[in-house]
Every structure is written in C-alpha cells, then in structure tokens.
C-alpha cells in the first residue's frame, strides 16, 4: 500500500494544497479529505492517479479546507457516470453531521444529471464512533476524536495483519484517540507549527499541535513511523528541514514531513 500525499497545508495555505491524501493498493484509491476546491483534480492528475479509481472517500470534518474538494469529486465522478466513463460505485464516509451537509451542498450546487446518482451509485454513508467497514479490502475503524465544538472523525486501517495506519484528523490527540495510536505502525498527525513558533501561532488555542506535541505522543506510544502534515507555511522551502530538526529531538522513530505530491510506501 502507498500513501499519495496530495496536500500538506493548513486551511489558509497558498503555497501548498490543503491537507489530503489517497491510499493506493491494487489500482484502487481511498481518498481522505478533498482540500478546499477543484485543485483536488489537479493534485490527482499530477500524482498520476486516475479519479476513476477512487471508490472510497472519507471526510474527517466539515471545515472548508477538507470539505469542498469532495463536492468537486462528486461532480467529476457524477459527470463520469453520466458519460459512462466511470465504472462501479463510490462510497463516501463521514459522521452523520457531515454526510447531511455534503448532501445539502451537493443538492445546492450540482446538476440534476450528477445528483441522480446519489443513493444508487454515489453512496453517502454516515458512520458512528468505533464503527468498522472494509476499504481497499482491509478492515477500517472510524472513531470520533472528541472535539467538543465541531464533530470530527479519524480512522485506523489494518493494511497488513497486525499493522495499522491511524489518522487523527487535523487536531491534537485527545484520550478518545490514544487507544488507536497505541499499536499503530504509522501515525498521521497534524503539526501546525514548530514548538519554537508557539508564541506566534498559539496552536493550542485552536486545537492544534506543535511538532513537539506530535512527536512526544508518538514517542510515548512507541510508534515506529510518524508523518507530520497540516502545517503553516511561513518558513517556505525550509519547512521540512526545520520540522525534521525539531521533531528528532523528541521522536526516535522514522519521522517524515512530506511535501505535496510525495509518495510514501507503508510496507517495511
């Protein structure tokens, strides 16, 4: 299985696309979030990924930088279905709150020719905390990360026997998520800014983490591989270097700070 990093930036990013990625196995794609616009289609294209291979989508929460790209994916897939250029079905998973909003926004913005596939070939599937499903032929567990203001879900995917990839959404880890972090082979964690920039960005006030926070969590649970994303971008092309330098002070495992369009193999 491979992780195609489509975007790594925070909500107001202009140099990078908003954080989203696609897991790829055997020619099928599982898209996680869509960023904030139709650039999701360009990111897929520049990653040499075919939108026709996306048959499962997960939306962590309703913030525009994760949500609106999903509407563009629904339009692209719905139009493909209209032209007999998309085979099979697509399943979109999220919390009931977000699924209802996807349905509402789609009906406000999409054409009747695209909307007609909702419920028949475009499936909007609400999930509950700790609910399981099959994605890319693997068991996945969706979980509520415990945000008291805006409902947000993460997931834990068993991509090999006894090997799990866990995504915590784009907020710091609360007790609800720690049981999924424990035993994970790969952890995907937001790192809004460097610890040294804490007094500039105040990430904890907006439920985000510093590099130090994310690395200390992964170290505490002996996670072998940690990916940091959803970052601010004031450091430009020095971001990766600076994040890695700070992170390695607190985390002894394999630390990655990907750039947009990077590809990561999840196999040892």
Q: What is the pLDDT of residues 2-51, one digit of tens each?
A: 999 999 999 999 999 999 999 999 999 999 999 999 999 999 999 999 99
**What are the pLDDT digits (tens) for 158-215?**
999 999 999 999 999 999 999 999 999 999 999 999 999 999 999 999 999 999 999 9
How high is the pLDDT of residue 268? 61
CA 42 to mean position of chain CA atoms? 17
How high is the pLDDT of residue 267? 85
Average pLDDT of the segment spanning 214-226: 98
**What are the pLDDT digits (tens) for 117-158?**
999 999 999 999 999 999 999 999 999 999 988 999 999 999
Whether 70 shows a pLDDT value over 90: the answer reads yes
The whole-angstrom separation of Cα 129 and Cα 176 is: 10
Report the number of distinct structural domains present in the chain: 1
Domain of 198?
2-265
CA 120 to mean position of chain CA atoms? 25
- The CATH number of whichever domain residue 98 belongs to comes to 3.60.15.10
The whole-angstrom separation of Cα 20 and Cα 162 is: 25
């Amino acid at each position: 299985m491979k992780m195609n990093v489509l975007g790594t930036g925070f909500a107001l990013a202009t140099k990078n696309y908003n954080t989203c990625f696609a897991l790829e196995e055997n020619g099928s794609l599982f898209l996680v979030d869509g960023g904030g616009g139709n650039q999701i289609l360009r990111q897929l294209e520049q990653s040499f990924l075919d939108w026709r291979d996306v048959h499962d989508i997960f939306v962590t929460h309703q913030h525009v930088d994760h949500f609106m790209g999903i509407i563009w994916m629904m339009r692209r897939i719905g139009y493909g279905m209209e032209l007999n250029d998309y085979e099979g079905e697509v399943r979109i998973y999220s919390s009931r709150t977000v699924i209802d909003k996807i349905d509402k926004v789609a009906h406000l913005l999409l054409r009747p020719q695209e909307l007609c596939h909702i419920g028949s070939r475009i499936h909007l599937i609400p999930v509950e905390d700790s609910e399981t499903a099959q994605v890319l032929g693997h068991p996945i567990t969706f979980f509520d990360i415990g945000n008291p203001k805006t409902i947000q879900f993460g997931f834990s995917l068993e991509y090999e026997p006894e090997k799990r990839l866990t995504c915590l959404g784009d907020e710091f880890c609360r007790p609800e998520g720690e049981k999924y972090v424990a035993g994970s082979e790969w952890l995907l964690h937001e790192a809004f800014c460097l610890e040294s920039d804490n007094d500039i960005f105040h990430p904890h006030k907006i439920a985000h983490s510093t590099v130090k926070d994310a690395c200390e969590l992964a170290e505490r649970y002996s996670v072998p591989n940690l990916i940091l994303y959803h970052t601010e971008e004031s450091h430009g092309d020095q971001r990766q270097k600076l994040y890695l330098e700070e992170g390695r002070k607190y985390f002894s495992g394999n630390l990655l700070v990907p750039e947009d369009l990077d590809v990561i193999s999840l196999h040892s």
